[in-house]
Structure 1
Amino acid sequence: MGRPRTNDTTVKERLVECTTELLATRPQESVTVRAVAAAAGTSTAAVYSLFGDKEGLIAAVRDRAVAGLFQAVTAVPASENALTDIYALAAAYRRWGREHSYLYATLFGGVQSFEPSGTVGTGDPVRPLIAAIDRAVAASVLEGEATSIAVSLWVTLHGVVTLELAGALVGPTADVTFRSTIHAALRGWTTPAVFVSLRNGDLAP
């Protein structure tokens, strides 16, 4: 009888699923190749054969996280108001982070980063944000270079969500802080005329 296969698609998917589940309940540093292999009912050799090492396995989980976040933000419908859409995208990002905190930590807790000078791929979660910002710039609602605006907003958004997931912002305070911070960040990039109109107004309920 031949040795069981360790490099087929089924085993690969099971390893990614088990790693994701372990990351939901353990610190990332405690999720070892041996622990993942045991949870998946396979050998450590399968992990090394399919992913190279633990970092390769974690990278596969990150890919899944990117796909999930992309799905969440692309589900946000576009409206005639680009600023409202940008706020809605920020809210979708926050909601995904809260619902998948372990994936969020895996995605942004290590070396994963936002690449402002890179090419935005078709599956990149930042693409809908860039598109909404482009619309706002074209309509003279925001002024500046789209990627710079996106980086600024992402830094702000990431900071608020990270503090919330760490427990520093809870309950109504988290909601108020999120809303006011994102509004303030957007107003900072608006054209003078729009800034005046938004100063005492709201972008979203």
Structure 2
Amino acid sequence: MGRPRTNDATVKERLVDRATELLATRAQESVTVRAVATAAETSTAAVYSLFGDKEGLIAAVRDRAVASLFQAVTAVPTSEDPLADLYALAVAYRRWGREHSHLYSVLFGGVQSFKPSGAAVGTSDPVRPLVKAIDRAVTASVLDGEATAIAVSLWVTLHGLVTLELAGAFDTSTAEAAFRSTIHATLRGWTTPEVFRNLRHDEPAF
């Protein structure tokens, strides 16, 4: 019987799967090439053949996470209401985090991790749809501020909420209420004075 192939697509997928699981539950420095290869039931040679080294494997895991999140947020439809669209993007981000907690942990386990590599740079940036929606809202005089500053404010708030939820800081009902009220408050804080006055009198539709 010949030796099992160590460089085919199936082995590559399995290595990325096992690396994702290990990186989500252990410190990055403790995840060795041997540990991933053992978990994937292959050899360390397969890792080096397919990814070059450990950093190449970790980059592949990050790229998968970035692409998955990008797919989730770009699937959000655009409406005539910029605030509703921004809220929908926040909902999509939270849903992705809850449904892909392993990938979320890998992607946001460290600030330096949120960087796609190779061909993924610039083509699958999950922040791009958010900035685009914010640009629309600023152009429509719904939000008042610089798009990047607004995006950072919203993303930091959203990331904090999802991270706390995944860590078990909230029960289901508390998490839902905290998400809705906090995202609404963050968006209201960036609205133009006229829009803000209207939102103060009416329950936000977004």
RMSD: 2.3
- Aligned residue pairs, count: 199
Residue 45 of structure 1: aligned partner = 45
Q: Where does the alignment leave 5 or more consecutive residues of structure 2 unmatched? A: 116-120
Aligned equivalents of 2:100, 2:163: Cα separation in 1: 12
Alpha-carbon distance in 1 for matches of 2:200, 2:48: 56
The residue type equivalent to 1:27 in the other structure is R
Report Cα offsets for 1:60-84 as digits up to 9, x if no partner.
1111011111111111111100100
2:110 corresponds to 1:85: no
Q: Output the TM-score relative to the length of structure 2.
A: 0.86
For the pair 1:144 / 2:117, whether they are aligned, the reply is no
- Which runs of structure 1 show a deviation greater than 4 angstroms over 4 or more consecutive aligned residues? 1-5, 21-24
Q: Greater shift after overlay, 104-113 or 79-88? A: 104-113
| Corresponding residue of 1:202 | 204
1:121 paired residue number: 122
Task: Give the whole-Å Cα distance in 2 for the aligned partners of 1:199 and 1:31.
Answer: 50
Mean CA deviation greater in 42-51 or 30-39: 30-39
Aligned pairs for 1:21-32 (under 5 A) are 21-23=21-23, 26-29=25-28, 31-32=31-32
**113 and 20 in structure 1: CA distance in 2 versus 1, 3 angstrom threshold:** closer
Deviations 1:126-146 (A, max 9, x none): 111111111101100001111
In the alignment, what sits opposite 2:6? 6
Deviations 1:86-136 (A, max 9, x none): 00000000010011111101000122248xxxxx82311111111111110
Structure richer in helix, relative to its length:
2
1:147 Cα deviation from its structure 2 partner: 1.2
2:133 — aligned with what?
132
Quote the sequence identity (%): 76
Question: What stretches of structure 1 of length at least 5 have no aligned partner?
Answer: 115-119
Q: Which residue does 1:178 correspond to in 2? A: 179
Please give the alpha-carbon distance, in whole angstroms, between the structure 1 residues aligned to 2:89 and 2:21. 27
